A and B are shown apart, each in its own frame.
Chain A
Amino acid sequence: MIDTSHYMLLSAILFSIGSYGVLTRKNAIVIFMCIEVMLNSVNLTFIALSRHVGNMDGQIFVFFVMTVAAAEAAVGLALMIAFYRNKDSIDVDDFNMLKW
């Protein structure tokens, strides 16, 4: 059995890689994928701690995180298609329609 702190450390590394991608990339779909990496690293923490504590609640929470991620994927990608139809671009630098 691997120690729980190893999983936590791996999860922290994955989360910071994901945040690096969110902060630096321009393509909105790649930013979206980096958000998925961050969500998954948090899921790994939940399951590792749920196993460590000996409780099922963390895994139920992972289930709901996956539900929210699926809903987010559907709505977010629909938004990106609508945006691409208006602006012919998916760069986040062009996402300035609410600025005045």
Chain B
Amino acid sequence: MEAILFYLTALVAVLAAFFVTNCRNPVNSALCLVTNFICLAVFYVMLEAPFMAAIQIMVYAGAIMVLIVFVIMLLNLGTAVKSRYTHGMVAGGVLSVLLLIVANVFLRNGNATGTGGDITSAVIESYGHTELIGRAMFVDFLLPFEIASILLLVAIVGAVVLSKRKV
């Protein structure tokens, strides 16, 4: 049952990613990207990371996609689709297939070690995923968390300054 769900969702995710790269209209690409994000959220739930799935839906499918669709609509790109919209199809295709082959070689020859850490299904069941995430973030990763907040502040200021008409 879980395998069927996995393969169906994987199929939808790959097709959505393919149409992101191949739709002529950027709005259609954006909608396919939302589909891809939701499929990934399903995978996160299957991997027992429900908090990550919620964050994926809220931050990616919510905030970032609204921003992208907003900019597409603002620049009115949906109507101005030019006749030629890609370049270097052959070179790009060859390079990405090579990338896929290299990743496959690593995957086939690699041997995943270090299994059996302390976060098992029973631990997630008893504590809850959100509590485990919060404990790891605010105890072990407090400094990176603060640095991330400064990064977001810099991004806000940068976005305002860049899109102003006159500085």
Contacts and interface: CB of A to CB of B under 8 A. Distances in A.
B8 interface: no
A48 B36 CA distance: 17
A71 B155 contact: yes
Contact of A54 (B17, B119, B140): B119
Interface of A: 1-2, 4-10, 12-21, 23-27, 29-30, 32-34, 36-37, 40, 43-44, 47-57, 59-60, 62-64, 66-75, 77-82, 84-85, 90-91, 93
A95 B132 CA distance: 45
Interface in B102-156: 103-104, 107, 112, 114-120, 132-133, 136-137, 140-141, 144, 148, 151-152, 154-156
Q: Give the interface residue-count category, chain B.
A: 35 or more
B163 interface: yes
B138 to A, nearest CB: 10
Given A12-B104, A16-B99, A34-B21, A70 B63 contact: yes
Report which residue of B10, B63, B96 has the largest number of chain A beta carbons within 10 angstroms of its beta carbon. B96
B75 A48 contact: no
Given A12-B107, A69-B60, A54 B92 contact: no
A4 B112 contact: yes
B14 A14 contact: yes
